[in-house]
Amino acid sequence: MKSTLFLRGALVSALFATTVVLPAQPAGDSGPAPARPVVRTVPPTPASASQSVELPGRTEAYESVLVFTRATGMVKERRFDIGDQVRAGDILAVIDAPEVDRSVDAARATVEQAAARAQSARRLSERSASLVTDRAISQEDYDQRLATTAELDAALRVAEASLARLEEQQKFATVRAPFDAVVAGRNVDRGDRVRGDAATSEGWLYLLVRLDTLRVTLNAGPDLALRLKPEQAATVRFGEFPGQAFPAKIARTSRIFDPASGTMRVELVIENKDLLLPAGLTGTVVFSIPPAPGTFLVPTNTLLVRNGQSSLAAVRDGKIAFVEVRAGRNLGPNVEVTSSGLTPDLPIVVNPNALLRAGDPVDLAPRNAAK
């Protein structure tokens, strides 16, 4: 036991007796500069594939009109009913208005009377021209006869205008279709009395709709509405017609965003010559939208999100620079981003370190290392 204790004490004394001498560091020498970090980069790829956007839309008649009559009387004929197809100019109904017919007869008689009086006055004026030259009548009598002739000519024109007005009213008794259409509603039957001089919104005879061409209306948000152009093609699908796609094209936009919904009204047109599609049907409108200017594809592991803002770490002149972007569709290994600060030759850092700061100097790894 005593020998063991003696050996331990000797070892401890030897350790304390040893001195480690380090080489002296010259004053002011901080050693070699730290190495610049090496980052792997990839270039952003300009997006070329169009984006498919789907929005709900509803079909509407291309034209729709409530047909009234300006003639007052009884419905003598009603020739069409709901669902019937009519052509422009077809007679829809005939109104029996005997008062108008008698007024037309009276107006014609008035015109004949006025014409006879005017003709007699003109002949008298023509004869008076020679009499005043021979001083058979005075100049005052001749002037009076000329004035009478002018007055009777004016009375004839008034009578003719009154006759024309009544004849137009008489034509209103025959109600005709304004365009090729389908009868969507009927509000009158034979024997009903109609008032053409005080027609109200409830006094219509027919509701006509044009269905050979349909409107498709929808509400688009700003991102889509500002990228739609007139005549741009689209496709419309309806659940009631599975497996069928109907071609359409943009006809017009309202060019104003609704302050309540923040959307713009867009109208498309569909050719419907066989009248297969009815108005009021809800479907899905599919647009193929080309990428917006400044849209690129970058690997998903290059995207940074800081304080709710998406950005990419790029390398400009050997230093880190952050480029704010707007993220779009996530395509799995790649993500679609839009930014005016991206170019196809700008290196984007892959898996950027959270400690990187704007302005940090970096070196680029060889391209095969990035792969």
Residue 220 to residues 262, 266, 290, 369: CA-CA distances in angstroms? 9, 7, 16, 45
Q: How many angstroms separate the first and last alpha carbons of the chain?
A: 68
Look up the CATH number of the domain holding residue 222.
Answer: 2.40.30.170
Residues 188, 162 share a domain: no
The pTM assigned to this predicted structure is 0.64
- Would residue 29 count as lying in a domain? no
Of 243, 265, 289, the last residue of a domain is: 289
Residues 343, 246 share a domain: no
12 has pLDDT over 70: no
- Would residue 33 count as lying in a domain? no
The stretch 204-223 carries a mean pLDDT of 94
Look up the CATH number of the domain holding residue 122.
Answer: 1.10.287.470
Confidence of residue 3 (pLDDT cuts 50, 70, 90): very low
More confident residue, 294 or 351: 351
Residues 253, 300 share a domain: no
The CA distance from 163 to 41, in Å, is: 90
More confident residue, 93 or 199: 93
Residues 217, 321 share a domain: no
Look up the CATH number of the domain holding residue 309.
Answer: 2.40.420.20
Of 236, 268, 289, the last residue of a domain is: 289
pLDDT tens sequence across 51-74: 788 999 999 999 999 999 888 889
Look up the CATH number of the domain holding residue 92.
Answer: 2.40.50.100
Q: Would you state the pLDDT for residue 264?
A: 95
CB crowding 223-236: b at 16 or more within 10 Å, else e: ebbebbeeeeebbb
Number of domains the chain contains:
4
More confident residue, 29 or 230: 230
Residues 271, 218 share a domain: yes
The stretch 79-103 carries a mean pLDDT of 91
Cα–chain center distance at 290: 18
Residues 346, 309 share a domain: yes
Residues 177, 92 share a domain: yes
Q: Would you state the pLDDT for residue 32?
A: 57
- Would residue 232 count as lying in a domain? yes
Of 290, 223, 294, 292, nearest to 45 (Cα)?
294
Q: Would you state the pLDDT for residue 19?
A: 30
The CA distance from 272 to 212, in Å, is: 5
5 has pLDDT over 90: no
Q: Which domain holds residue 181?
A: 67-96+173-206
Confidence of residue 125 (pLDDT cuts 50, 70, 90): confident
Residues 191, 143 share a domain: no
- Would residue 34 count as lying in a domain? no
pLDDT tens sequence across 299-316: 999 999 888 888 999 999
Of 237, 265, 289, the last residue of a domain is: 289
Residues 137, 43 share a domain: no
CB 338 within 8 A of CB 288: no
Number of H helices and number of E strands within the chain?
A: 5, 23
- Would residue 8 count as lying in a domain? no
- Would residue 20 count as lying in a domain? no
Residues 178, 88 share a domain: yes
33 has pLDDT over 70: no
Residues 154, 179 share a domain: no
Range name among 16-30, 167-181, 187-201, 252-266 with the lowest pLDDT average = 16-30
Q: Would you state the pLDDT for residue 93?
A: 94
- Would residue 18 count as lying in a domain? no
- Would residue 316 count as lying in a domain? yes
Q: Would you state the pLDDT for residue 198?
A: 56
Residues 182, 76 share a domain: yes
Q: Within the chain, where are the H helices?
A: 2-16, 98-133, 139-172, 222-225, 367-370
The stretch 207-226 carries a mean pLDDT of 93
